[in-house]
Structure 1
Amino acid sequence: MILARVEGSVVATKKNPKMQGTKFLFVRPMIVDSPASTELKASGSTLVATDSLGAGEGDLVLIVQGSSARLGAADDKSPVDAVVIGIVDTIDLSKRVIYKAH
C-alpha cells in the first residue's frame, strides 16, 4: 500500500467504457523521512488513482497498485493501475499522532 495526499481531480469525458462513472484523483505519495520526524513529506511523482470512497483534495489516502488495484476496483476487469482503498483518519507513529484528519 502507498500513503498519498490528494492534490486534485482529473476529468476525462472520453474514456474506456469500463471506466464510465469513475472518479479520478491526482495523488502524490507521502513518506515520513525518519523515525524521529513528525512530518509527512512528498515522495516520488504524482499518479492518477480511481476513487469510489469519496476522497477529496487534501485528504490522505491509502492506494494500491498493480493486480491489487484491479481487485480493489468496482469491476475486477477494469483497466486500472491505482485505486484508493482507504481514507486515513489518524497516523500514530511511535506513540505520537503525526496526522489527524480535519
Structure 2
Amino acid sequence: MYIAKVVGTVVCSHKDESLQGMKLLVVQPLKDDLTPKGKPLVAIDTIKSAGQGDLVYLAKSKESSLPLSRELVASDAGIMGIIEDYYVKK
C-alpha cells in the first residue's frame, strides 16, 4: 500500500464493463514527507467517499479491486481508505 492525494476526477463516456458504476479519481502518489512521487495515476474509489484534496492510501494490481467483490476489474490502483492523521517519527 502507499499514500496519495486526490488531485482530480475522471469522466468517461465509455468505460470497460467491469468499471460500470465505479468512481475514478486522479491521485498523486506521495513520499513519506508528503511530497509528490512520480506521475499522477487513475484509481478506483473502492470506498465510494474519497474526494478532491483527500489524503488516501492505495493498493496496486489485483489487490486494488479486492473490496469490490468482483472476479476481474480493469484496475491498476484502488483507494482503500481516507487518511485522517499522518505522521512519521524520525
When normalised by structure 2's length, the TM-score is 0.88
Which consecutive segments of 4 or more residues in structure 1 shift more than 3 A? none
In structure 2, how many angstroms separate the alpha carbons of the residues matched to 1:58 and 1:21? 22
Structure 1, unpaired ranges of 5+: 33-38, 96-102
**Which of the two has higher C-alpha Rg?**
1
* Mapped contact 1:73–1:80 kept (Cα < 8 A): no
Asked whether 1:65 is paired with 2:64, we answer: no
Per the TM alignment, residue 49 of structure 1 is displaced from its structure 2 partner at its CA by 0.1
Root-mean-square deviation (CA, aligned residues, Å) is 1.6
What is the DSSP-based 3-state SS (H/G/I as helix, E as strand, rest coil) of the residue aligned with 1:56?
Answer: coil
- Which structure has more RCO (C-alpha within 8 Å, separation ≥ 6)? 2
**Alignment-derived partner of residue 48 in structure 1:** 42
Query: Percent identity at matched positions?
Result: 35
Per the TM alignment, residue 12 of structure 1 is displaced from its structure 2 partner at its CA by 0.8
More strand by share: 1
